[in-house]
Structure 1
């Protein structure tokens, strides 16, 4: 047979994935998950970009739109949890397909809503699907990526989400003047729906998931040679995973079992703290910089620089994350603390201010991508989608609190230097929790993985 297969006809799936040469099969999975992430990111912010035209068309008060935004985020929180269960029950592929078709249809139907209440309920219901697709895409990419590239590949996939969130502004600017706000939701409905259809035919199920659940042996037999061409397997071949305990039905307490009783709280604190800083800054940056004296056009440019910085920061950190884990991610909030604090300095030159905004985006949005890339490493295949889903749901606490706290501080008319110092404070918490999380991974989880990888085949699950 092959060196991955023992004489007894046993194929080690973990070795098969880790030793694969990244070819057409893997990049097909990446391309589809990137499209899922892109559509998800676009729909995440679609209402924000359509809001000015919606307010004018429906004669809605600006403040009332806050309820629509809030309903969408609550739906996303719920969806992250619900689809975590779906992904660990039915599989990553089915959860991704259901999520894409679901939020694609509901986003499309948003075009026909004509009331504030209708918008509120539609965004809440659509949000369930929007929140559910990405956790399962993260799990799928995690489970098909070689260990040496795992964080890099999750980060590359999540760049699609960042491009989607930023791309909505360009779509709105190009289409809304000619076709109305409905055009934003037409694009936001059609793209994920077509992506979901493509996933039905072209996206494979996670081979790790299938092996961990002892499901569909024939499908594993079909998938294994695609990871390593030339591998000979048949109906009698046994497939094993080295790093996995025996599968068990998900229970919430599993998120806090063994070493996860330390890792999960740290991961949740990290997500909340970084999300709070990220969404505080991304929501209020143009307003704050106009208050600092920047012309409106330059303040809007600063918002774009913040997003671009986030994308480049994500790409810059990914290879270091593969090597050093969360320890590498911790460097971003550490750098972000003085940079964000300096944004409020009086008399700072505009070019330096814009450079600082770019770096702040790299540190906050880049860290968010880094957190996504390491989150799945703390949970076994049997409940990885649940672990990531719960973490992303908890992160929405920071996503909601950031803009709200920013609005409260603006209403209090605090001096600009004080506002940015407050915005930098969550990054202190993010750095400390991320550094500890990295230490926990290196001290506990990495050693367990190494021990499992060196275990004899007969002792594997």
Structure 2
């Protein structure tokens, strides 16, 4: 294991925090630019849903290959490559001429965004001792919703026709950070490729063997439902609130509140879940999310800022806890396969969510009806997440079976 001086640790943590910040900015940017893009390119709501979902499809693919490239290129080069990828294609998104070009550029932006997360987490873990590793990763991850709030603040000073500025800023800054990462961070040795169990049924055994079928299915359902709601809100919140006749200022503050409260929720639930009864806390969190969505469907004027903030607090907090719970579902030797599959299934929910909103809006569904239609998904996620919290960690189960 490489040894890092305190100065090197601070440099790594700073670069990774700003990488997370910029990733959060770019994740939010498409939703904030949505009304302007729709007006300039005459996009209907279904087309806008495809633009949003193409970005999330890129996230899905980028997340799958990001860790592998990290092992082959080294963490520093992997992170810099991901930052450069989403920086270049974010800038390219600002200079597209229509629906097809925009969809392609947002897809490749998503590939870069998806690849950045596993690299920055690996870097943070590399410079952290076990006692502080989880806390450091949580702090870095909280940069993502904070980055989304920065995008919302920038949009406050822009007119609808200036949406391209959002993408340009979201492209230039990652390119600068990529150069700084290559300059400041120590190059790591290439990681040797680990031996993979190619035994027939090995993948299926990792997910469903030794009585893990129920846990895997429950984890997949929870991840799918939660990320469906989260990415629908990330992409469609401004458009939905404007469609309800919301004031632009209130809508942008609602997006800002959603992102900032999401950062607070990520830190708060990460802290609370280690010190309180998981089942009770998570049931309360899902109930809070349902009430917040219902309020968002009903309230008007400045009250949407409060409702959006609570929605961001609960849905982001729940998702971060799910990442932690996924590690308990599989023994250490199978944890990469298990958690990777759950992230992939969750990303599928992130693809379906924005597209579902686009389809529903294109056929004339009221915004309030769209938001309340998410409540059954929240209830299902509450049930399956409760199943996860009531089971013992997989390592203990494996030892007992053995």
TM category (shorter chain) comes to: 0.7 to 0.9
* In 2: Cα distance, 1:119 partner to 1:148 partner: 44
What's the counterpart of residue 188 of structure 1?
Answer: 170
Per-residue deviation, residues 400-423 of structure 1 (Å, max 9, x unmatched): 33334345555465694x655432
**CA offset at residue 325 of structure 1?**
9.6
Q: Are 1:84 and 1:390, in contact at CA under 8 Å, matched by a contact in 2?
A: no
**CA offset at residue 272 of structure 1?**
0.8
Q: Are 1:176 and 1:184, in contact at CA under 8 Å, matched by a contact in 2?
A: no
Partner SS, residue 248 of structure 1: coil
* In 2: Cα distance, 1:257 partner to 1:248 partner: 21
- 1:40-55 aligned at under 5 Å gives the runs 40-55=23-38
Q: Larger C-alpha radius of gyration, 1 or 2?
A: 1
- 1:274-423 aligned at under 5 Å gives the runs 274-283=226-235, 285=237, 297-323=249-275, 327=279, 331-341=284-294, 343-344=296-297, 355-375=306-326, 389-409=340-360, 411=363, 413=365, 416=368, 419-423=370-374
What's the counterpart of residue 424 of structure 1?
Answer: 375
TM-score normalised according to structure 2 size: 0.77
* In 1: Cα distance, 2:74 partner to 2:22 partner: 21
* In 2: Cα distance, 1:298 partner to 1:181 partner: 18
CA-atom RMSD, angstroms? 4.1
- 1:195-274 aligned at under 5 Å gives the runs 195-203=177-185, 213=192, 247-249=194-196, 252-253=203-204, 255-256=206-207, 263-274=215-226
**CA separation of 1:329/1:97 partners in 2, compared to 1, >3 Å: closer, same or farther?**
farther
* In 1: Cα distance, 2:164 partner to 2:243 partner: 33
TM-score normalised according to structure 1 size: 0.69
Segments of structure 1 that go 5 or more residues without pairing to the other structure are 1-12, 216-246, 450-461
* In 1: Cα distance, 2:122 partner to 2:197 partner: 16
**CA offset at residue 129 of structure 1?**
1.4
Segments of structure 2 that go 5 or more residues without pairing to the other structure are none
**CA offset at residue 164 of structure 1?**
1.9
Q: Are 2:250 and 2:304, in contact at CA under 8 Å, matched by a contact in 1?
A: no
Partner SS, residue 393 of structure 2: helix
What's the counterpart of residue 14 of structure 2?
Answer: 31
What's the counterpart of residue 444 of structure 1?
Answer: 394
Q: Are 2:238 and 2:251, in contact at CA under 8 Å, matched by a contact in 1?
A: yes
**CA separation of 1:50/1:422 partners in 2, compared to 1, >3 Å: closer, same or farther?**
closer
**CA separation of 1:383/1:195 partners in 2, compared to 1, >3 Å: closer, same or farther?**
farther
* In 2: Cα distance, 1:65 partner to 1:271 partner: 24
What's the counterpart of residue 152 of structure 2?
Answer: 169
Q: Are 1:340 and 1:421, in contact at CA under 8 Å, matched by a contact in 2?
A: yes
